[in-house]
Amino acid sequence: MYRERDISIDFLGIRLDSPFILSAAPSTDELELAYDGLKEGWAGVILKTTSVEENPVPLKYPMMSSFGPQSRKVTGLGNIDLISQYHIDVIEKRVKALKESFPHKMIGASIMGAKKEDWQSLVHRLKKAGVDIIECSFSCPQGSMGEAPGRMLAQSVEATEKVAGWVKEAAGDTPVLIKITPQVTDIVEVARAVKRGGADGITASNTIPSLLGLDIYTFEPYPSLFGKGGYSGLSGSAIKPITLRTIAEIARNVDIVISGNGGAFNWKDAVEFMAVGAGNVQFCTLPMHYGFRTIRDLKSGLAGYLDAMGFKSPADIVKKALKNIYSHEEIPAPKTRAQLIEEKCVGCGLCYVACRDGGHRAIEWRSGNVPGQDDSRKPAFDEEKCPGCAMCMQVCPVDAIRMKEQMDGRCQYYEEVR
Amino acid sequence: MEDRRKFSREQALIEAERCLYCYDAPCEKACPAHVPVPEFIQSVRTGNLKGARNIIREANPFIEICGVICPEFCSEQCIRGKIDTPINVRQLHKFVTDNTDPEENLEPAERTGQKVAIVGGGPAGLSCARELSRLGYKPVILEKDVVGGIPAQEIARTRLDEEIAGKETGFIVKHFVEEVKRAEVEFVGDLLKEYGAVFISTGLEKEQEPDIPGTDLEGVFFAREILKNVRKGQKSPAGRRVGVIGGGNVALETAAVLKAEDPGRDVEVIYRRGLKELKAFREEIEEAVERGVTFQFMAIPREIRGDAKVEGIMVTRARLSEPDESGRRRPEPVENSDFFIPLDTIIIAIGQKAGEKFPEIEKTAAGLIKVNDKLETNIPGVFAGGDMVNGACTVVESVRDGKKAAASIAEYLERGKA
Ligand SMILES: Cc1cc2nc3c(=O)[nH]c(=O)nc-3n(C[C@H](O)[C@H](O)[C@H](O)COP(=O)(O)O)c2cc1C
Ligand code: SF4
Ligand code: SF4
Ligand code: SF4
């Protein structure tokens, strides 16, 4: 065996051998699954959300739907799952068993309760079982218990603070994460409430309420259960931009530890999550789609990135991008123009139509359709008309366009590296 | 045998997704019929196959036939080829025709204009008829044989469903042709008295023979006879050891057809160049190979030997020269490399040539009709296109000529009115 590069990280006092953990979801809803995931190399698990024994969990199947083009049908995944059908009695045993088999991995559990006694008894029982971390689901789109059933707990600032307080009171020095939803008016308010409640960190965020799609011939929503369906929780790549913003917004305003979750599909996404403030990254749709084996690329991808960047530890990435995120008023206004990287262009003309019908008509198409005209099939940018909106750059299939930005006598080029 | 010419729905969608949807698309420009390729592919992408069909059919009346036999001028120019591999446009085209209704009801165009004589009811003639009819003229087809031409009569059943090809021809005749007359036309002069203009599209009349001794022996056939035969459901006259001279689709198809008819017989394709230079579709070659057809590459026929009946063929080994201006590498004989292949049947598949009809019309040295860039001959009002003008060409090039001739004819008739 070759020695692997150290990509370990400290998360709320727990050592993780990589920043990557399995989030509360079907992949952690059986002892065997959690076991296999850890064995495959994931740094930790958060067992799927459990509840007290009295709480009925009426699951309905099919529970998944997705959308995306043929080759990436699962760009966004929707589910109408609920929390685990297993109650705390089962979860206690699993925590013990996993802790025994994997003393050096992070064994976490997620909980949801209807009233103070539920939350606190769940916490007490998990603590006794030896759990490393407790996550509280304040944001299951399919339904929650407590003060306003059906409404996500984290949509109420007061409830968030109050329940976080109950949980932390019971948890003592066991770290507590509150899993919130981005579906709120002001995410910063919620994050502050979590902090006031005394929780140690925030899991930002969760699936997002959505309507996955319809059969346009029967008008049944997806997934359809005997013709009826409803709103689903959306996860996967589709929600990554929302999660990024959520993490960034919390990290810029509240001094609290963040576990990034929602739309990370590879190590690059994870780096982005960390760069805007996540201390670690949770994954659900990726392992559900392609399996636990995906951890290998996550780890080696991150390791390679750290080496390439000269970073010692993944911790070095955390919050790196925050200094560059500003409000619109604060963003500078350079003079911007599109510029062609001649040798990359394959002549598809997509930039031309996008600019022509997309707002600015700043590209001339050198088609040779008119006799005597240049037939290079390359775009020619009109410096006068181009305000540098970058639409052309977005549609170019071979990234042959960059933006030239000039300000204060300086000039720089902006290309998106994907 | 599985049909390798058919895309599954999944293959089609993935292929359609690869298309860049180029602006000013070179595939469309390269297509002689100017099929708006990116637009029909976009409709495939959205599952709008009927829309896709209409787009193709608007530009090319031989949509069923071209889906099978078009040599893909489009794909050769495909921009995607600069990124990875070109889009398989013909296969997508075929996916559209395979999954849509070949015949639809259509209001015949209102025809108030003059009658136009179309001599020869092949693809060029029928395309011309369709365009003329849409412009309000009355096209009358004069045909000595069967309307539909080469594709309707000679393409093997295995490749093109006869019924569909027939339907396609029938559809054009029904909706766009004023009348079909059974007639063999030798001179065009008289036609101008009855018709406003004439379009000659009779195709090539005579088979090209290799310039070697022995072609008159018993057991020598032309590939087209064999294909016509087999197409009509008759048994082919070929024996047990068959050599097919040529390297195009017709040669390979004949070889495959003969092998399919009697898997016990030996069928060998004798070709002057190598595998890479074969001018047949990949699927055509694969099918021949799969059926057990063998190849004698780099073999120049010298003499067909035998008493009254074929006993075999003398060939000389060839080596390929440097590519000439046309990009083709010419085969050159290798000295003292003659050898004999024992055979009882020889099939000639090296193309056709012009006959002696229409003596009053100016011809080229090769015996083809001379036209200007409007496809007008030396006789005003007489136009010509298709194989009679280009030498052996493809269906889609005939479509181009038919459409172009129709435009020129309309212009000519308008001028006459004024
Ligand atoms: C089928 C399914 C069930 C889930 N169940 C839970 C759950 O019980 N508790 C919870 O906190 N989150 C649950 N989640 C949310 C995930 O933990 C995760 O937050 C979400 O999927 C976003 O991450 P991703 O984009 O990496 O999948 C579930 C997600 C899915 C897809
Ligand atoms: S940056 Fe915007 S305006 Fe300028 S060429 Fe590109 S699309 Fe047109
Ligand atoms: S989109 Fe890109 S590849 Fe296509 S023409 Fe424009 S610059 Fe060239
Ligand atoms: S050139 Fe190729 S990629 Fe571009 S539109 Fe045509 S088929 Fe599609």
What pLDDT is stored for residue B1 in this prediction? 43
Q: Residue B206's CB: how many other CB atoms inside 10 A?
A: 12
Taking each helix axis from N to C end, the angle separating A31-40 and A88-101, rounded to the nearest 10 degrees, works out to 30
User: Does the beta carbon of A26 sit less than 6 angstroms from any atom of ligand 1?
Assistant: yes
Nearest in space to A209 (alpha carbons), one of A229, A185, A233:
A233
User: Does the beta carbon of A25 sit less than 6 angstroms from any atom of ligand 1?
Assistant: yes
Mean pLDDT of chain B: 89
Q: What is the mean pLDDT of residues A70-78?
A: 93
Phi and psi, residue B39, nearest 5° = -75, -40
Q: Which regions of chain B are under pLDDT 50?
A: 1-2
pLDDT tens for residues A111-155? 999 999 999 999 999 999 999 999 999 998 877 777 677 789 999
Catalytic residues of A: 140
Q: What residue spans define the domains of chain A?
A: 7-315, 331-411
DSSP states of A329-375: GGS---EEEEEE-GGG-----HHHHHHHHTT---EEEE---STTS--
Q: Is B20 on the interface with A (CB under 8 A)?
A: yes
pLDDT tens for residues A223-271? 999 999 999 999 999 999 999 999 999 999 999 999 999 999 999 999 9
Identify the architecture of domain A331-411 in CATH: 2-Layer Sandwich (3.30)
How far apart are the CA of A372 and the centre of ligand 3, in A?
22
> Residue A373 pLDDT more than 90?
no
CB B23 within 8 A of CB A348: yes
Binary contact (A348, B20; C-beta < 8 A): yes
What pLDDT is stored for residue A374 in this prediction? 83
Q: In Å, how far is B386's CA from the nearest CA of chain A?
A: 25
What pLDDT is stored for residue B352 in this prediction? 81
Can you tell me the distance from the alpha carbon of B202 to that of B91, in angstroms, rounded to the nearest whole number?
29
Question: Which residues of chain A does B26 touch, with a Cβ-Cβ cutoff of 8 Å?
Answer: 347, 377
Q: Is B10 on the interface with A (CB under 8 A)?
A: yes
Which numbered ligand comes closest to the C-alpha of A398?
Answer: 3
Q: In Å, how far is B12's CA from the nearest CA of chain A?
A: 10
Reading the block at residue B25, the tokens are 């698309």
What pLDDT is stored for residue B227 in this prediction? 85
Residue nearest to atom 6 of ligand 4 (CA): B27
What pLDDT is stored for residue B160 in this prediction? 64
Nearest in space to A37 (alpha carbons), one of A104, A84, A86, A105:
A105
Q: Is B146 on the interface with A (CB under 8 A)?
A: no
User: Does the beta carbon of A398 sit less than 6 angstroms from any atom of ligand 3?
Assistant: yes
Q: What is chain B's length?
A: 418
Residues touching ligand 2 (Cβ under 6 Å) are A 338, 354-355, 360, 362-363, 381, 386-392
Q: Is B46 on the interface with A (CB under 8 A)?
A: no
Which numbered ligand comes closest to the C-alpha of A378?
Answer: 3
Comparison of pLDDT for A78 and A70, the residue scoring more = A78
A30, amino acid identity:
E
Task: Tell which of B13, B14, B24, B95 to mutate to test the A interface (max A CBs under 10 Å).
Answer: B24
User: Does the beta carbon of A401 sit less than 6 angstroms from any atom of ligand 3?
Assistant: yes
Straight-line distance from the first to the last Cα atom of chain A, in angstroms, rounded to the nearest whole number? 32
Binary contact (B22, A350; C-beta < 8 A): yes
A201: Cα within 13 Å, side-chain hemisphere: 26
What pLDDT is stored for residue B153 in this prediction? 64
Residue A14 exposed, middle or buried by CB count within 10 Å (0-12, 13-18, 19+): middle
The 3 state secondary structure assigned to A99-116 is HHHCCCCEEEEEECCCCH
A230, amino acid identity:
G
ipTM > 0.85 (yes/no): yes
How far apart are the CA of A345 and the centre of ligand 4, in A?
15
Question: Which residues of chain B does A216 touch, with a Cβ-Cβ cutoff of 8 Å?
Answer: none
Residue nearest to atom 8 of ligand 2 (CA): A355
What pLDDT is stored for residue B391 in this prediction? 81
Residue B209 exposed, middle or buried by CB count within 10 Å (0-12, 13-18, 19+): middle
Binary contact (A365, B23; C-beta < 8 A): yes
Q: Is B186 on the interface with A (CB under 8 A)?
A: no
B414 three-state secondary structure = helix
CB B74 within 8 A of CB B89: yes
**B17 → closest Cβ in A70, A367, A369:** A70
pLDDT tens for residues B192-207? 999 999 999 998 878 8
Superfamily of domain A7-315: Aldolase class I (3.20.20.70)
Beta strands in B131-232 (DSSP E): 138-143, 179-182, 197-200, 206-207, 220-222
B295: Cα within 13 Å, side-chain hemisphere: 21
Reading the block at residue B301, the tokens are 């026929």
Enumerate residues 6+ apart whose C-beta is below 8 A from A91. Answer: A47, A50, A84, A109, A126, A129
Phi and psi, residue A316, nearest 5° = -65, -20
**Pick from A256-265, A322-331, A372-381: least confident:** A372-381
CB B6 within 8 A of CB B98: yes
Binary contact (B23, A350; C-beta < 8 A): yes
CB B162 within 8 A of CB B230: no
pLDDT tens for residues A282-317? 999 999 999 999 999 999 999 999 999 999 999 999
Q: Are strands A106-111 and A76-79 parallel, antiparallel or unpaired?
A: unpaired
Q: What is the largest CA-CA distance in chain B?
A: 69
Reading the block at residue B282, the tokens are 């990949």
Beta strands in A238-288 (DSSP E): 257-261, 280-283
> Taken in order A56, A57, A61, A65, is the CA torsion positive or negative?
positive
Straight-line distance from the first to the last Cα atom of chain B, in angstroms, rounded to the nearest whole number? 60
Binary contact (A349, B10; C-beta < 8 A): no
Q: Is B192 on the interface with A (CB under 8 A)?
A: no
| Stretch (H or E) spanning A79 | strand A76-79
Residue that the structure tokens 């398989």 belong to: B88
**B24 → closest Cβ in A69, A349, A397:** A349
User: Does the beta carbon of A277 sit less than 6 angstroms from any atom of ligand 3?
Assistant: no
Residue that the structure tokens 């017989």 belong to: B265
Residue A89 exposed, middle or buried by CB count within 10 Å (0-12, 13-18, 19+): exposed
